Amino acid sequence: MLVLGIESSCDETGVALYDSLRGLLGHAIYSQIDMHEAYGGVVPELASRDHIRRLIPLLDQVLSITGVDKKQIDAIAYTAGPGLAGALLVGASFAESLGLALNVPTMPVHHLEGHLLSPLLAADAPTFPFVALLVSGGHTQLMRVSGVGKYELLGETLDDAAGEAFDKTAKLLGLGYPGGPAIARLAAKGIAGCYKLPRPMLRSGDLDFSFSGLKTAVLTVVRDHELNETERHDLAAEFQEAVTEVLVAKALAAVERCGFDQLVVAGGVGANLRLRERLNAAAARRGIRVHYPPLDLCTDNGAMIAYCGAQRLLAESAGQTTHAFCVRPRWALQAV
Ligand code: ATP
Ligand code: MG
Ligand code: FE
């Protein structure tokens, strides 16, 4: 089955073609980061308008690099939520009208389910069951995953998401958007431990997180005195270390609590190399295997949506043929 995937939930437009027999045939992403950077964050109305501009050229690009003809497409999967309402509507209306024109079924996909299943697109893919650590710009959750569509929430952040904490802390350090990669670059030149930041909820005994206090702790440091270059590096390194330490401890505790031996990490923060380094080392000591999506599929993309839609279509349903649609800006993953 050849599935076209469309992603437009936030500030990346993604289009991909996934074949259930041959795998990912090709994908293309357009990131709006440069456009939103001037505003220090994503401007929803600008995001929607830009998705409109990008979708047709991206589709043409993917058809051209894969050599596929539109008529060969069997189904269209698209992100129906959660995300920015206007941005989601662009992708949904594009996907449904293309489905109507090509007379193929469509499949609305949950954006986080896309992230969660994205490690299955890697060469060394995990097998069910596993624990998933979802660490993105809007979410930080631990999920027990026993199969496609079988997700049980084990714990989540009580306030800011891990990616959000990176983004907000980056702002405090005078860095651009998105903050994750910017902090990681600074942290690579600094030494963790020169500053002492808290490890929120490390010993809470549950699998929940809290990151807003960490950002406030950074604020206290930068408010009290002007940091020189070295101090900024050291503070970034300590911040990255604090987030990483808590994520590693809770993720491995979740795997052990479930009695599994596989952990899957998905979402933008999963691209953080220090997180990967610490997680891999700690997991190896406990006999746990850690799986990541291919690096270019950590942040938003169409490939994970095409893949997720294909699994859904194969597993349980023939897809939608009415081409009526609605989007769900707020939508819990456990509810799919
Ligand atoms: P959601 O999926 O929850 O709706 P989102 O789609 O905005 O949110 P992603 O695209 O998965 O989230 O990830 C973006 C986030 O990942 C941003 O917060 C960004 O700062 C963070 N991020 C990206 N690369 C890195 C990195 N190397 N280190 C830390 N954080 C990173
Ligand atoms: Mg994004
Ligand atoms: Fe995302």
Task: Check if 155 has its Cβ closer than 6 Å to any atom of ligand 1.
Answer: no
For 57-103, how does the pLDDT look when each residue is reduced to its tens digit (9 = 90+)?
Answer: 999 999 999 999 999 999 999 999 999 999 999 999 999 999 999 99
Task: Check if 113 has its Cβ closer than 6 Å to any atom of ligand 1.
Answer: no
Least confident of 131-145, 218-232, 310-324: 310-324
Structure tokens at 27: 């994908």
Structure tokens at 248: 């590693």
Distance CA 209, CA 257 (A): 16
Q: How far is the CA of 133 from the centre of ligand 3 (A)?
A: 13
Asked whether 333 and 153 are in contact (CB, 8 A), the reply is: yes
Task: Check if 81 has its Cβ closer than 6 Å to any atom of ligand 1.
Answer: no
Separation in Å, CA 57 to CA 5, 31, 46, 101, 332:
14, 14, 18, 18, 32
pLDDT band at 116 (very low <50, low <70, confident <90, very high): very high
Distance CA 167, CA 180 (A): 6
Task: Check if 178 has its Cβ closer than 6 Å to any atom of ligand 1.
Answer: yes
At 132, the amino acid letter reads A
Each domain of the chain, given as residue ranges in start order, spans 2-116+297-335, 128-292
The residue contributing the CA closest to ligand 1 atom 27 is 272
Task: Check if 139 has its Cβ closer than 6 Å to any atom of ligand 1.
Answer: yes
Task: Check if 271 has its Cβ closer than 6 Å to any atom of ligand 1.
Answer: yes
What ipTM does the predicted assembly reach?
Answer: 0.98
Best probe residue, ligand 1, of 136, 239, 272 (max atoms within 8 Å of C-beta): 136
Collapse the DSSP code of 79 into the 3-class scheme (helix H, G, I; strand E, B; otherwise coil) and give the result. strand
Task: Check if 168 has its Cβ closer than 6 Å to any atom of ligand 1.
Answer: no
Contacts of residue 74, Cβ cutoff 8 Å, sequence gap at least 6: 1, 2, 3, 104
The dihedral built from the CA positions of residue 332, 182, 303 and 17, taken in this order, carries a sign that is positive
* pLDDT score of 315 more than 90: no
Distance CA 325, CA 80 (A): 9
Asked whether 263 and 252 are in contact (CB, 8 A), the reply is: yes
Contacts of residue 196, Cβ cutoff 8 Å, sequence gap at least 6: 238
Q: How many residues does the chain have?
A: 336
The residue contributing the CA closest to ligand 1 atom 25 is 180
**Distance of alpha carbon 138 from its chain centroid, rounded?**
8
For 253-271, how does the pLDDT look when each residue is reduced to its tens digit (9 = 90+)?
Answer: 999 999 999 999 999 999 9
Structure tokens at 2: 């050849």
For 153-174, how does the pLDDT look when each residue is reduced to its tens digit (9 = 90+)?
Answer: 999 999 999 999 999 999 999 9
Ligand 1 atom nearest 166 alpha carbon: 20
Burial class (CB in 10 A: 0-12, 13-18, 19+), 175: buried
The residue contributing the CA closest to ligand 1 atom 4 is 138
Contacts of residue 102, Cβ cutoff 8 Å, sequence gap at least 6: 70, 71, 73, 76
Ligand 1 atom nearest 170 alpha carbon: 20
Collapse the DSSP code of 5 into the 3-class scheme (helix H, G, I; strand E, B; otherwise coil) and give the result. strand
Task: Check if 170 has its Cβ closer than 6 Å to any atom of ligand 1.
Answer: no
For ion ligand 3, residues whose CB falls within 5 Å: 136, 300
The residue contributing the CA closest to ligand 1 atom 8 is 137
Using a cut of 0.90, tell me whether the model's pTM lies above it: yes
Contacts of residue 50, Cβ cutoff 8 Å, sequence gap at least 6: 13, 30, 32, 35
Q: What is the pLDDT of the chain when averaged over all its residues?
A: 96
Could you list the residues known to form a binding site for substrate, using ranges. Answer: 134-138, 167, 180, 272
Best probe residue, ligand 1, of 30, 247, 299 (max atoms within 8 Å of C-beta): 299
The residue assigned the tokens 């950002």 is 215
Q: What CATH number does domain 128-292 carry, 3.20.20.80, 3.30.420.40, 3.30.750.24, 3.60.40.10?
A: 3.30.420.40
The residue assigned the tokens 């929430």 is 153
For 25-62, how does the pLDDT look when each residue is reduced to its tens digit (9 = 90+)?
Answer: 999 999 999 999 888 889 999 999 999 999 999 999 99
Task: Check if 239 has its Cβ closer than 6 Å to any atom of ligand 1.
Answer: no
Residue 196 DSSP label: -
Asked whether 269 and 135 are in contact (CB, 8 A), the reply is: yes
Quote the CATH superfamily of domain 2-116+297-335: ATPase, nucleotide binding domain (3.30.420.40)
